[in-house]
Amino acid sequence: MRAHLGDRLVIESPATGATRRDGEIIGLHHQDGTPPYDVRWSDTQAVTLVFPGPDAHLLHPGHEPGTAREPSRRPGAAGTGAASGRHRSGAHHTSDLGRRVATERERQGLTRAETARRARMAPAYLAYLEEHQADPSLATLINLAGALNTTVQALRGGGTEMPPGQGAALLHPRLLDLDPEECRTLLSTHGVGRVAVSTPDGPAVAPVNYEVVDDVIAFRTAPGSVPAAAVGSDTAFEVDRVDETMSQGWSVLAVGPARLVTDADAVRRLTEHARTAPWTGGEREMWVAIRPTSLTGCRISPADR
């Protein structure tokens, strides 16, 4: 498929052949007119990046549908409007959404190709989302949030100051117990969890950045801190994820003895392989390790899953 600025992209119903949606191509990403395109849809006037599928064809003004012609090289042929202006200058105008996606992807050590594969999208489209102003569909955001193990709300930047779980419950929710292998998978390799300890002032729960190494949960803290009180006792460690958009979530609870890591080689290995420095900052070089003797969890999902 080769398009010219001003052509119309028509999406047809595969069952009836009737026009389902159409819009004007106002931005090209390749000089030869091949996809993707910036399309201004006639029904909403919104501009989105489109990778046409098999149910799409082009209407060239003054030509038969679906015929190809080379894009014009005349001055100003790069199009009009904000979207096409980006391609004339070559400048990138990254959105807040794009920055959050790129930051989360890089934090997890994922390449664009791997993230795109997980989200079932073209790597070029993911690059566009990260580097330009874009308005992806809810389905795209759900796939992307799943690929990054986060939520649509988090990618959109909403509700960061609000406690989780304020959305409406599912119409027919189902609570499922997770087996130990699923719990290990959800613990992943690192993240933020909560450690529950007993202190002289009573029970306490504190969030910590953690690593998982050889099935051992390890976190850094400072002597005298609340998490440090875990050393020498059976400790509960909890990790969860709440998807506000879908009203779903899961939690994993690990219980086991906590010990202070004193072996120099073990400390060096943990420090060298730590993916995240403690968010609280400061001198936190005391490593505490929990080897779970019990690993349980549950998940809330729709009844039909």
Architecture of domain 96-156: Orthogonal Bundle (1.10)
Mean pLDDT value across residues 131-154:
84
| The residue count for the chain | 305
**Which regions of the chain carry the CATH code 2.30.30?**
8-89
Weakest-pLDDT range from 30-34, 196-200, 233-237? 30-34
Q: 3-class DSSP state for residue 154?
A: helix
Weakest-pLDDT range from 94-108, 143-157, 164-178, 265-279? 164-178
pLDDT at 68 over 90: no
Name the band, by pLDDT with cuts 50, 70 and 90, for residue 13.
low
**How much is the mean pLDDT over the chain?**
79
Angle formed by the axes of helices 96-107 and 123-131, to 10°?
120
CB of 42 closer than 8 Å to CB of 24: yes
Residue 94: per-residue pLDDT: 64
CB of 83 closer than 8 Å to CB of 27: yes
Residues 270, 285: Cα–Cα separation, whole Å = 10
**Which regions of the chain carry the CATH code 1.10.260.40?**
96-156
Residue 156: per-residue pLDDT: 81
CATH code of 8-89, in short, is 2.30.30
Mean pLDDT value across residues 263-292:
86
pLDDT at 146 over 60: yes
The closest of 57, 71, 62 to 22, measured between CA atoms, is 57
**Fold category of 173-302 in CATH:** Pnp Oxidase; Chain A (2.30.110)
Q: 3-class DSSP state for residue 272?
A: helix
